[in-house]
Amino acid sequence: MTPDLYNYQAEKPFSQKDLVTLQDYSQDEIYQILGKALDLKQKHKAGIPHPYLSGKTLGMIFSKSSTRTRVSFDVGIYQLGGYAVVLNTGDIQLSRGETISDTAKVLSRYLDGIMIRTYKQQDVEELARYSSIPVINGLTDLFHPCQVLADLMTIYEKKNTLAGLKLAYIGDGNNMSHSLLIGCTKVGMHISAACPENYTPEPEIIEKARKNGMVTGAEVLVTQDPVEAIRDADVVYTDVWVSMGREEESAQRINQFATYQVNRELFSHAKHDAIFMHCLPAHRGEEVTSDIIDGPNSVVFDEAENRLHAQKAIMALLMADKDK
């Protein structure tokens, strides 16, 4: 049973230093983030100032281009009373061979937190290891934890629960599928993933999700059959077929994923009140048809908005002084 997250009372004080992957977080810590996000959203809508990070500075490292991550973190730290410094990798010494450990130690002397959006998960892990300040994973090829926290927040807003719901993921076994497998099973949501052969999620991540499910009661299904995956789903989720950095595989992927399009026929196998989600950007006519993503069941723009509030909660919990 999911508690009332609008009035969530933490079981333990929040003690995480970084957000590298949600696998590191307990259910209680995830609920604390979601509860904080819902509270900050209400304050923002009501025009109530919440400068929990007054005077703090967030460094944002970008190896991958971004719309939602860049704008939501930049606006979020500002609304929390702090400042953002954008650090494109071409503008800092990482691009000229400075080690991640040296970069981490130097930035720790200047900043109060770091958000990094990059390719290798190990780079985020190394940055967190050598930083004395919080490090937030803004996206890697393996995980996208900030997006999934925004997704869970959105699902809770629409369904008033998380535990016991079924989320069906249709498409590429990429960083979104990995983070959804971890995030859903941490909060007791069943998850089914339908992916073409050779495009399934990493086996070790599936195993971690199944172990999470043994604790929370969440069931995990990985299949090649999209109808099997989507049947009776409360939430239907998809992502682009060609992730950033894999553009050379575009023609091959579009051919192999053709039967995994979320269209009206496939969506009809979900529950009648199922919501449709997509982390964006979307390619209408490929992974999803316009009548689905722009239809009445779609919550993709609520989901995008909640990146702002979820990430503000992450920053507030990680970066604020403990007495705030």
d(CA 190, CA 168): 8
The two structure tokens encoding residue 93:
């010494």
* Catalytically annotated residue among 23, 32, 79, 147: 147
* Catalytically annotated residue among 68, 117, 253, 278: 117
The DSSP-derived string for 243-282 is: -TT-GGGHHHHHHHTGGG-B-HHHHTTS-TT-EEEE-S--
* Catalytically annotated residue among 195, 279, 309, 311: 279
Helices (H), the chain: 27-46, 68-79, 100-110, 121-130, 145-159, 175-186, 203-216, 226-230, 250-256, 264-267, 290-293, 300-319
Give buried/exposed letters for 172-184 (b at 16+ CB in 10 A, else e).
Answer: bbbbbbbbbbbbb
3-class DSSP state for residue 55?
A: coil
Give buried/exposed letters for 251-272 (b at 16+ CB in 10 A, else e).
Answer: eebeebbeebbbeeebbebbbe
* Catalytically annotated residue among 68, 178, 278, 307: 307
Measure the CA angle with vertex 303, ends 302 and 304; round to 5°. Answer: 90
Is-catalytic flag, 117? yes
Is-catalytic flag, 144? yes
* Catalytically annotated residue among 239, 278, 309, 311: 239
* Catalytically annotated residue among 68, 144, 190, 278: 144
C-alpha dihedral sign at 115, 18, 204, 12: negative
Is-catalytic flag, 109? no
Is-catalytic flag, 239? yes
| Nearest alpha-carbon partner for 261 in 240, 233, 232 | 240
Assess contact for 226 and 266: CB atoms under 8 A: yes
Is-catalytic flag, 147? yes
Is-catalytic flag, 269? no
Q: Which residues are catalytic?
A: 117, 144, 147, 239, 279, 307
